[in-house]
Amino acid sequence: MAMGVGMSEEGMRPVTELSRTEAVAEWADLVQAVLAANQAYHRDDAPTISDADYDRMKRRLAALEAAFPDIEATMNQQSPTSMVGAAPADGFGKVAHRLRMLSLENAFSDEEVTEFDERVRRFLGLTDAVAYTAEPKIDGLSLSLRYEAGRLVQAATRGDGELGENVTENARTIRDIPQSLTNAPAVLEVRGEVYMSHADFSALNQRQAAAEEKTFANPRNAAAGSLRQLDASITASRPLRFFAYAWGEVSDPLATTQAAAIARLNTLGFQTNPLTMLCAGPEEMLAHYRRIENQRATLGYDIDGVVYKVNDLALQARLGFRSSTPRWAIAHKFPAELAWTELLGIDIQVGRTGALSPVARLQPVTVGGVVVSNATLHNENYIAGRDSKGNVIRDGKDIRVGDWVQVYRAGDVIPKVADVDLDRRKIGAEPYVFPQVCPECGSPAHREAGDSVRRCTGGLICPAQAVERLKHFVSRNAFDIEGLGAKQVELFFKDTLLPVKTPADIFTLAARDAANPLQKLKNRDGFGDVSTAKLFAAIEAKRTIPLDRLLFSLGIRHVGEVAAGLLARHYSTWSAFEAAITHATPGSPEWADLTAIDGVGAVMAQSLVEAFQNPAERAAMDALVAELQVQPVVARGAVDSPVAGKTVVFTGTLEKMTRAEAKARAEALGAKVAGSVSAKTDLVVAGPGAGSKAKDAERLGVELIDEDSWLRLIGE
- Catalytic residue numbers? 137
Q: How far is the CB of 640 from DNA (least distance, A)?
A: 21
Q: Does 344 help bind DNA (rule: CB under 7 A)?
A: no
Task: Answer whether 314's CB lies under 8 Å from 254's CB.
Answer: no
Q: How far apart are CA 134 and CA 309, in angstroms?
A: 7
Task: Write the DSSP string, 2-47.
Answer: -TTTT--GGGSPPGGGS-HHHHHHHHHHHHHHHHHHHHHHHTSS--
Q: Does 414 help bind DNA (rule: CB under 7 A)?
A: yes
The one among 228, 352, 425, 583 contacting DNA by CB under 7 A: 352
Angle 486-494/463-473 helices, nearest 10 degrees?
A: 140
Q: How far is the CB of 372 from DNA (least distance, A)?
A: 5
Torsions phi, psi for 371 (to 5 deg)? -80, 125
Q: How far apart are CA 607 and CA 613, in angstroms?
A: 10
Q: How far is the CB of 36 from DNA (least distance, A)?
A: 27
Q: How far is the CB of 639 from DNA (least distance, A)?
A: 15
Q: How far is the CB of 510 from DNA (least distance, A)?
A: 30
106 or 215: CB nearest DNA:
106
Run of H or E including 411: none
The one among 560, 573, 682, 711 contacting DNA by CB under 7 A: 560
Scanning residues 316 to 335, which ones bind DNA (CB under 7 A)? 322-323, 327
Q: Which stretch binds DNA (CB under 7 A): 31-39, 523-531, 561-569, 585-593?
A: 561-569
Torsions phi, psi for 192 (to 5 deg)? -170, -165
49 or 694: CB nearest DNA:
694
Q: How far apart are CA 648 and CA 707, in angstroms?
A: 12
Scanning residues 117 to 156, which ones bind DNA (CB under 7 A)? 119, 122-123
What separation in angstroms does the CA of 283 have from each of 273, 276, 286, 333?
21, 16, 5, 17
Q: How far is the CB of 64 from DNA (least distance, A)?
A: 20
* Residue 438 CA to its chain's centroid (Å): 29
The one among 355, 466, 484, 654 contacting DNA by CB under 7 A: 355
Burial class (CB in 10 A: 0-12, 13-18, 19+), 635: exposed
Q: How far is the CB of 392 from DNA (least distance, A)?
A: 17
Q: How far apart are CA 714 and CA 716, in angstroms?
A: 6
Run of H or E including 597: none
The one among 357, 572, 573, 631 contacting DNA by CB under 7 A: 357
Q: How far is the CB of 567 from DNA (least distance, A)?
A: 10
179 or 678: CB nearest DNA:
678
Q: How far is the CB of 370 from DNA (least distance, A)?
A: 5
Q: Does 570 help bind DNA (rule: CB under 7 A)?
A: no
Task: Answer whether 557's CB lies under 8 Å from 353's CB.
Answer: yes
> In this structure, which long-range contacts are made by residues 18-27, counting pairs with CB atoms below 8 Å and at least 24 apart in sequence?
18/64, 18/67, 20/68, 23/64, 23/67, 23/68, 23/71, 24/68, 24/71, 24/75, 24/525, 26/2, 26/60, 26/64, 27/61, 27/64, 27/65, 27/68, 27/71, 27/75, 27/79
Q: Does 108 help bind DNA (rule: CB under 7 A)?
A: yes
7 or 437: CB nearest DNA:
437
- Contact map string, positions 659 to 698, toward DNA, x by CB under 7 A: xx------------xxx-----------------------
109 or 519: CB nearest DNA:
109
- Contact map string, positions 440 to 459, toward DNA, x by CB under 7 A: ----------xxx-------
DSSP-derived pairing of the beta strands 445-446 and 455-456: antiparallel
Buried b (16+ CB within 10 A) or exposed e, 135-174: bbbbbbbbbbbbbeebebebbbbbbeeebbbbbbbbbebb
148 or 304: CB nearest DNA:
304
Q: Does 559 help bind DNA (rule: CB under 7 A)?
A: yes
Task: Write the DSSP string, 608-644.
Answer: HHHHHHSHHHHHHHHHHHHH-EEEPPPPPPPPSSTTT
Q: Does 224 help bind DNA (rule: CB under 7 A)?
A: no
255 or 410: CB nearest DNA:
410
Q: Where are the alpha helices (DSSP H) in 43-109?
A: 51-67, 71-74
Q: How far is the CB of 318 from DNA (least distance, A)?
A: 13
172 or 672: CB nearest DNA:
672
Run of H or E including 170: helix 168-171
Q: How far apart are CA 33 and CA 25, in angstroms?
A: 13
Q: Which stretch binds DNA (CB under 7 A): 270-278, 307-315, 373-381, 493-501?
A: 373-381
Cβ neighbours of residue 460 under 8 Å, at least 6 residues apart? 466, 469, 502, 616, 617, 620
The one among 30, 101, 262, 604 contacting DNA by CB under 7 A: 604
Q: How far apart are CA 280 and CA 277, in angstroms?
A: 10
Q: Does 460 help bind DNA (rule: CB under 7 A)?
A: no
Q: Does 349 help bind DNA (rule: CB under 7 A)?
A: yes
Q: How far is the CB of 234 from DNA (least distance, A)?
A: 22
Q: Does 370 help bind DNA (rule: CB under 7 A)?
A: yes
Nearest of 91, 98, 240 to residue 167 by alpha carbon = 91
Torsions phi, psi for 653 (to 5 deg)? -90, 125
The one among 233, 374, 391, 678 contacting DNA by CB under 7 A: 374
What separation in angstroms does the CA of 458 have from each of 157, 352, 464?
43, 11, 10
Q: Does 600 help bind DNA (rule: CB under 7 A)?
A: yes
Scanning residues 183 to 212, which ones bind DNA (CB under 7 A)? none
Q: How far is the CB of 714 from DNA (least distance, A)?
A: 18
Q: How far is the CB of 471 from DNA (least distance, A)?
A: 10
| Helix and strand element counts for the chain (H, E) | 25, 24
Q: Does 602 help bind DNA (rule: CB under 7 A)?
A: yes
Q: Does 228 help bind DNA (rule: CB under 7 A)?
A: no
Nearest of 476, 472, 506 to residue 354 by alpha carbon = 472
Q: Does 583 help bind DNA (rule: CB under 7 A)?
A: no
Q: Does 498 help bind DNA (rule: CB under 7 A)?
A: no
Q: Which stretch binds DNA (CB under 7 A): 41-49, 305-313, 407-415, 424-432?
A: 407-415
Q: Does 655 help bind DNA (rule: CB under 7 A)?
A: no
Task: Answer whether 563's CB lies under 8 Å from 594's CB.
Answer: no
Q: Does 353 help bind DNA (rule: CB under 7 A)?
A: yes
Q: Does 89 help bind DNA (rule: CB under 7 A)?
A: no
The one among 87, 153, 186, 371 contacting DNA by CB under 7 A: 371
Q: Does 392 help bind DNA (rule: CB under 7 A)?
A: no
Q: Which stretch binds DNA (CB under 7 A): 27-35, 172-180, 239-247, 368-376?
A: 368-376
What separation in angstroms does the CA of 434 have from each of 71, 166, 384?
37, 48, 8
Q: Does 106 help bind DNA (rule: CB under 7 A)?
A: yes
Cβ neighbours of residue 446 under 8 Å, at least 6 residues apart? 454, 455, 457
End-to-end CA distance of the chain: 62
Kindly determine how many residues on this chain lie close enough to bind DNA according to the rule CB under 7 A.
56
253 or 601: CB nearest DNA:
601
73 or 533: CB nearest DNA:
73
Residues in contact with DNA by CB under 7 A are 106, 108, 119, 122-123, 322-323, 327, 349, 351-355, 357, 359, 370-376, 378-379, 410-411, 413-415, 450-452, 468, 555, 557-564, 598-605, 659-660, 673-675
